Amino acid sequence: MTKPAVRVAVTGAAGQICYSLLFRIANGDMYGKDQPVILQLLDLPQAQAAVGGVVMELEDCAFPNLAGVVITDDPKVAFKDIDAAVLVGARPRSKGMERADLLSANAEIFKVQGKALNEVAKRDVKVLVVGNPANTNAYITAKSAPDLPAKNITAMLRLDHNRALSQFAAKAGIATADIEKVAVWGNHSPTMYADYRFATANGKPLPELINDETWYRETLLPKVGKRGAAIIEARGLSSAASAANAAVDHMHDWIHGTDGKWVSMGVASDGSYGVPEGIVFGVPAVCSGGEYEVVKGLPMDDFSKAMFEKTLNELLEERDGVAALLG
């Protein structure tokens, strides 16, 4: 028997990330091949015609589980009765632009959308914020949606996680699937801290296998941190297919579970690791039964403490930068 359809809202539907993401969701990569999905697509009034074109292409794929598509410029229509939302719609960074410049440009969007989610989404809606600055936009969304559980409003650190996995695998000469327990802490920004201290590959400690702490500190960390900028420099546009892939990974694992494996998710802090409550911070998590649980009690050495503090301070500054907007 066919399952009832789930409703997934995606914002920024005419944009470049969605040109990959919508097709992946419609193909069943997020909810599964046996789960009908209704896509509820939001974009600005001037982008409605372009969204219409994307929807023609979705139709032309004849996806068996695409049970319907809604196109709108009204967040309350897009978010009505949704099970999940991927908030992509925002202005991306262009060449030479710092991430901080995006803060004011995009903060207002997430205040409006948080309020709309609060009014019309299902009470257990799972939200992933992709639009940058993703952590602080998720923080604004959660603060603007006080009737929804803050734990269900998450930010995307999975692209950093996947970037780190690929670099570690290439350096060690192994497959990404061999590696477990990588954690990306903090902000989705160059200050993120891709921590490999607990990582293993085929049962061996990854730091021992790589055996090059200088490479880790001086090459790996800046490479992953600045990967977004390197892609903008090379493509003239920010990452899109890999961002969509990371969004699918994040939601898929949250919905279906990780079988005990660690993934990195930006989640509202409950105060653990000294991160003030409510700050949306990248942490290692395991997922099961449609819920995630933060991996707690990991020890910090001096290097980790310094990395941790840097990325936390950046997030505290971003929070202070939007305090007036949130009243």
- Residues annotated as catalytic are 188
Identified binder of ligand NAD from the candidate list 9, 17, 107, 315, rule CB under 6 A:
17
Q: Is the peptide bond before 276 cis (omega within 30 degrees of 0)?
A: no
The reply to whether 83 sits near ligand NAD by the rule CB under 6 A is: no
Q: Is 131 near ligand NAD (CB under 6 A)?
A: yes
Q: CA angle 56-62-65, nearest 5°?
A: 110
Q: Which of 89, 186, 225, 282 binds ligand NAD (CB under 6 A)?
A: 89
Q: What's phi and psi for 288, nearest 5 deg? A: -160, 140
The least distance separating ligand LMR from the CB of residue 163, rounded to whole angstroms, comes to 8
Strand order in the sheet with 263-268: 66-72, 37-42, 6-11, 84-87, 126-129, 153-155, 263-268, 280-288, 291-294
For ligand LMR, the binding residue among 228, 266, 282, 284 (CB under 6 A) is 228
**Does the annotation list 289 as a binding residue?**
no
Q: Rounded to the nearest whole angstrom, what is the least distance from the CB of residue 135 to ligand LMR in the complex?
A: 11
- Asked if residue 99 belongs to a known ligand binding site, the reply is yes
Q: Among 189, 139, 134, 220, which residue's Cα sits nearest to residue 311?
A: 189
CA distances to 53, 247, 250, 298 from 258, rounded to whole Å, are 35, 15, 10, 19
End-to-end CA distance of the chain: 49
Query: Encoding tokens for residue 181?
Result: 């327990």
Nearer to ligand NAD, 91 or 256 (CB): 91
Q: Select the residue interacting with ligand LMR from 239, 245, 264, 311 (CB under 6 A).
A: 239
The response to whether 286 counts as a known ligand-binding position is no
Binding partner at 109 among ligand LMR, ligand NAD, none, C-beta below 5 to 8 Å by kind: ligand NAD
By CB under 6 A, residue 162 contacts ligand NAD: no
- The Cα 152–Cα 136 span in angstroms is 15
Find the part of the chain contacting ligand LMR (CB under 6 A) among 45-53, 225-233, 251-259, 315-323.
225-233
Considering the rule CB under 6 A, would residue 42 count as an interface residue with ligand NAD?
A: yes
Consult the annotation and say whether 274 binds a ligand: no
Among 209, 240, 263, 312, binds ligand NAD (CB under 6 A): 240
Contact between 298 and ligand NAD (CB under 6 A)? no
Question: Given candidates 66, 84, 117, 159, which one binds ligand LMR under the rule CB under 6 A?
Answer: 159
106 among annotated binding-site residues: yes
Q: Which residues within the stretch 114-133 sit at the binding site for ligand LMR (CB under 6 A)?
A: 132
Binding mask 92-111 for ligand NAD (x = CB under 6 A): xx---------------x--
Residue of 135, 142, 165, 128 whose CA lies nearest to 244:
128
Map residues 76-95 to x or -, x wherever contact with ligand LMR holds by CB under 6 A.
-----------------x--
- Interface residues toward ligand LMR, by CB under 6 A: 93, 132, 159, 228-229, 231, 238-239
Specify binding-site residues for NAD(+).
12-18, 43, 106, 113, 130-132
Specify binding-site residues.
12-18, 43, 93, 99, 106, 113, 130-132, 163
